[in-house]
Structures are given as C-alpha cells and as structure tokens.
C-alpha cells in the first residue's frame, strides 16, 4: 500500500516562506504584485483564478485583476500585455488558459517579457529550460543555497512552469531518487508534459514521453520508476499498468458528473501497487499555486536589479 505525497502540506510550507519574503521585501519598499488575466468565463479558469486570488491575499501579494470578455480583440489583449510589461507594480502575470480559439495564444504569450513570464510558457522561457539555463532552480535543493556553475548566467531571469516545477519539488521534498531512474510521462503539452520531461532530463533521469497516439500505453507505464500522468482522462492509469513500488504522480484534474474532482489515476487499484502516490485533490494542484507565488516573489526580488537586455526593447 502506497504512502501519500501530501501536496497540501508542502504547499503550506512554501507559502509560509513566501509570506516571510513578502514582508521582508515590503520593508525594502517593494510591494510584491501578481497580475491575473482572465478572458471569458471558462469554469476551470475561473476556479483557478479565484484560488490564486485567495492564495495571494493569504501571503500578502497584491493581486492585479484583469477580467476581459471573450469578445476582446487580439489588439486590445496585446495592448494590455504591453501595459503589464511596463507596470512596475506587477512582477509576474498568470494568464489563464485557454484563450478564445480565434485568438493566437502563442502570439499573446510571447508578448509578455520573459522577466514576468512566471509560468514559463513563452518561447524564451521554454528555450532556456531546454538549454538547461534555468534549471538551477531544480538542481538546487529546497531551502539550500548550494552555489552552482549556472548560478551567474544571465538566464536566471527565466522561470520554470509552475505545475512541472511543483512535481519536481514534491518528489524532492519526499526524497524520491530521480537520477538514473526511468520517468514515464503521459501528456506532452507545453504547460505540463514537455517541460516536466526537460526537468527530469536535467536531473538525469531516463525519460519516456507518451501521448494519445502512443501504442500499448501499459507496456510503457509498467517500465516507470516514476510515473506522471497529465492527460485529463479520468481512470486512464489502472493498477495493472503500474510496476510494483513505482512512484505515481497524478497531475490530471477531471470533474465528474456528481461534481467530485478526480485525477487520471484509478486511485483504488494503483495505491495497492505504488510506493508513493499523489491524491487528487491535495496533490500537485496546491503545489502549483505555491510555485506560482514563489516565482512571483523571485521576480520581485530582482526588480531592484539592473534589467537584463531583453527588457524594455
């Protein structure tokens, strides 16, 4: 029977630390600010928006809310992002996805300067993660300041995407060995699967990425020492698809017809095979929000430093 990877407990620890840092920045004249941009009223986005607002309030981060109708034009949206780029009160922006289908989301995401791209979705942030220029954040262990040869590279201005960053933090917190282990990831999105694969590679795991066209998914998942599922398909991962003793991380969020929330993993059968498992809710979700707050503070800490060359072009 698996033990639980308690994301809520880790998130509370991270938020306590963030709260202290917010207070100390305030003493130095820096009021930490997070922008939240919501277009339309997608229920999942509204829920994430409200959860993040509440979390900001609890740690003392000032939330700057931008709620736009789904009729907003691309020009208006881009002008809004340009204004945020130059707004010194805002240290990072959370853009709730998806944007309306007629809007080119990549165009909007890439208009945000990397210094405020605290969810690491822009092409520059993605490139820096892929080039191992921003992975100092996951190579350095939680709560320590071990210097690294990467520490002084200019790319420390980049941020890691919050959900996969949270997965790595959760595994580190529970001292799950990663180096040399086989991590199998299901899902290849830019928000979760792909950056998570890059982070596992940076930590020298052997990585397999699966997706909806993968043949015989079970033959892949049964090889995993660490199995991460991020598909949004309830019940996709059953006990017979998991190697005994594997660590199972369920990133998926699915709302069932009775209103309950569940992940991708059939918890009842998988808990009997795994050694560690995340619950849904209470696993990856709370850590994602905590990482967003941590990234915002990290950005604010840099706000009194000289801007890098990519800023104010």
Q: Return residues touching ligand NAD (CB under 6 A).
A: 163, 186-189, 191-193, 210-212, 214, 217, 230-233, 236, 251-254, 284-285, 288
- Cβ atoms of residues 112 and 81 within 8 Å: yes
Residue closer to ligand NAD, measured from CB, 151 or 255? 255
Here the tokens at position 305 are 């430093």
CB of residue 67 to ligand NAD, shortest distance in Å: 21
CB of residue 98 to ligand NAD, shortest distance in Å: 9
CB of residue 7 to ligand NAD, shortest distance in Å: 9
Q: What angle do CA 130, 171, 279 make, to 5 degrees?
A: 115
DSSP state of 212: T
Residue closer to ligand NAD, measured from CB, 86 or 212? 212
Residue closer to ligand NAD, measured from CB, 113 or 284? 284
Cα–Cα separations (whole angstroms), residue 256 to 42, 50, 73, 263: 16, 20, 33, 10
Residue closer to ligand NAD, measured from CB, 55 or 251? 251
CB of residue 301 to ligand NAD, shortest distance in Å: 24
Here the tokens at position 128 are 């820096």
Residue closer to ligand NAD, measured from CB, 21 or 250? 250
Q: Among positive and negative, which fits the CA dihedral 70, 76, 78, 79?
A: negative
CB of residue 208 to ligand NAD, shortest distance in Å: 12
Residue closer to ligand NAD, measured from CB, 35 or 187? 187
Number of neighbours of residue 229 by Cβ within 10 angstroms: 29
CB of residue 186 to ligand NAD, shortest distance in Å: 5
φ/ψ of 66, rounded to 5, equals -125, 105
Q: Which helix (H) or strand (E) holds 96?
A: none
Residue closer to ligand NAD, measured from CB, 189 or 269? 189
φ/ψ of 147, rounded to 5, equals -65, 150
Residue identified by tokens 């890691």 is 160
Distance CA 32, CA 16 (A): 15
CB of residue 283 to ligand NAD, shortest distance in Å: 7
Distance CA 304, CA 307 (A): 8
User: Quick check: helix, strand or coil at residue 196?
Assistant: helix
């Amino acid at each position: 029977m698996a033990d639980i990877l308690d994301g809520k407990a880790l998130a509370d620890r991270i938020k306590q630390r963030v709260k202290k840092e917010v207070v100390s920045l305030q003493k130095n004249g820096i009021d930490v600010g997070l922008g939240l941009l919501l277009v339309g009223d997608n229920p999942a986005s509204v829920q994430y928006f409200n959860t993040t607002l509440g979390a900001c309030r609890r740690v003392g981060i000032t939330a700057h809310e931008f709620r736009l109708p789904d009729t907003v034009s691309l020009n208006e949206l881009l002008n809004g992002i340009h204004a945020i780029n130059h707004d010194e009160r805002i240290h990072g922006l959370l853009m709730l996805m998806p944007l309306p289908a007629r809007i080119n989301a990549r165009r909007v995401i890439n208009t945000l300067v990397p210094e405020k791209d605290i969810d690491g979705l822009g092409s520059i942030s993605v490139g820096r993660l892929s080039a191992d220029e921003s992975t100092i954040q996951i190579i350095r262990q939680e709560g320590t300041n071990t210097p690294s040869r990467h520490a002084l590279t200019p790319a420390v201005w980049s941020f890691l995407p919050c959900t996969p960053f949270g997965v790595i933090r959760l595994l580190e917190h529970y001292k799950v060995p990663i180096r040399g282990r086989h991590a199998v990831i299901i899902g290849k999105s830019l928000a979760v699967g792909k950056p998570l694969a890059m982070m596992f590679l940076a930590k020298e795991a052997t990585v397999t990425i699966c997706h909806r066209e993968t043949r015989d998914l079970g033959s892949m998942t049964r090889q995993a020492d660490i199995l991460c599922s991020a598909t949004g398909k309830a019940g996709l991962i059953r006990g017979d698809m998991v190697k005994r003793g594997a660590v199972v991380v369920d990133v998926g969020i699915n709302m069932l017809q009775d209103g309950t929330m569940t992940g991708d993993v059939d918890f009842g059968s998988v808990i009997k095979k795994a050694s560690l498992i995340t619950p849904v809710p209470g696993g990856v979700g709370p850590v994602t929000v905590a990482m967003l707050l941590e990234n915002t503070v990290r950005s604010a800490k840099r706000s009194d430093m000289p801007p890098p060359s990519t800023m104010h072009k």
